[in-house]
């Protein structure tokens, strides 16, 4: 048995940022590992510039999601001023860009997810001596140092994180118990029309080689390397079929 910290991730509007290229900021259908660890770091009061503690979060904790509904899509359009550099000129700061002799206006697009709802689980990796116990993370979620949000500052949580520590054999088992008896279970009837095919997306787990409920694995660029430089590495995410215990005959 192993201990898992479970919590809910729900927001009326959320953004699960994908790789940003050009003038469009897309959103994945589910939260990234980097986004959830960033939310935990905000609860703990870790500054973005604190590379040591940011790296500790990435190194010390495994991550899993029970994906209930990805929500609908919403596009928001913004106008943005950009400076036009002279020949041989390079803007080193945003202030330099806006102070240039020629400033153009472009249209950008940001994508959001509406009423996305997921359950998350964290656990301490077996090979590390963690800087924070799961109880420390749970306490921080109850009284966060910084305001947590789901993707962007304009995306406040729609439900409390409601952290619970559950002892189980695997991430899927812990999330199964949370699904059945967690505090957000009472809201499920109102979400019945939007809940999609359930699955667990998670970091690799002991015994994966012999499991028969694995659907596929995906490569996601959501492993934090440097938050100040906005750099993220590739991570293998395992997709596992999920059938709640309460629905099994």
CATH code of the domain covering residue 214: 3.30.70.2660
3-class secondary-structure state, position 79: strand
Angstrom distance (rounded) from CA 249 to CA 243: 11
Q: Quick check: is 144 in a domain?
A: yes
Domain presence at residue 82: no
- Residues facing 128 on adjacent strands: none
Q: Is 214 a member of any domain?
A: yes
Spatial neighbors of 4 by CB under 8 A, at least 6 apart, are 121, 122, 123, 134, 165, 166, 167, 168, 171, 174, 175
The answer to whether residue 223 is domain-embedded is: yes
Residue 101 belongs to a domain: no
Range of the domain at 169: 2-71+112-247
In a domain, 78, yes or no: no
* Strand intervals (E) in 125-242: 164-168, 199-202, 214-226, 231-241
Domain membership of residue 98 (yes or no) is no
Residue 45 lies in a domain: yes
Confidence of residue 248 (pLDDT cuts 50, 70, 90): low
pLDDT tens-digit profile of 157-214?
Answer: 999 999 999 999 999 999 999 999 898 878 776 665 566 678 999 999 887 876 778 9
Q: State pLDDT tens for residues 73-117.
A: 888 888 877 778 878 788 888 787 778 878 888 888 889 999 889
Number of domains making up the chain: 1
């Amino acid at each position: 048995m192993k201990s898992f910290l479970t919590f809910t991730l729900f927001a009326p509007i959320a953004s699960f940022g994908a790789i940003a290229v050009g003038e469009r900021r897309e959103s994945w259908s589910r939260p990234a590992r980097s986004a959830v660890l960033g939310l935990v770091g905000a609860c703990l009061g870790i500054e973005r510039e604190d590379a040591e503690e940011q790296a500790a979060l990435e190194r010390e904790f495994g991550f899993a999601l029970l994906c209930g509904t990805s929500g609908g899509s919403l596009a928001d359009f913004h106008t943005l001023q950009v400076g036009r550099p002279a020949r041989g000129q390079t803007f080193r700061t945003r202030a330099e860009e806006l102070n240039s002799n020629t400033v153009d206006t472009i249209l950008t697009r940001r994508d959001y997810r509406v009423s996305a709802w997921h359950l998350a689980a964290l656990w301490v990796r077996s090979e590390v001596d963690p800087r924070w116990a799961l109880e420390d993370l749970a306490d921080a979620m109850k009284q966060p140092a910084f305001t947590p949000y789901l993707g962007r500052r304009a995306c406040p949580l729609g439900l409390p994180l409601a952290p619970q520590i559950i002892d189980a054999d695997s991430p899927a088992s812990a999330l199964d118990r949370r699904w059945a008896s967690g505090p957000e279970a009472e809201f499920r009837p109102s979400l019945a029309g939007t809940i999609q095919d359930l699955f667990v997306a998670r970091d690799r787990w002991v015994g994966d080689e012999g499991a028969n409920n694995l659907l596929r694995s995906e490569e996601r660029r959501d492993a934090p390397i440097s938050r100040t430089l906005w750099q993220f590495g590739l991570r293998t995410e395992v997709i596992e079929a999920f059938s709640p215990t309460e629905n099994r005959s």
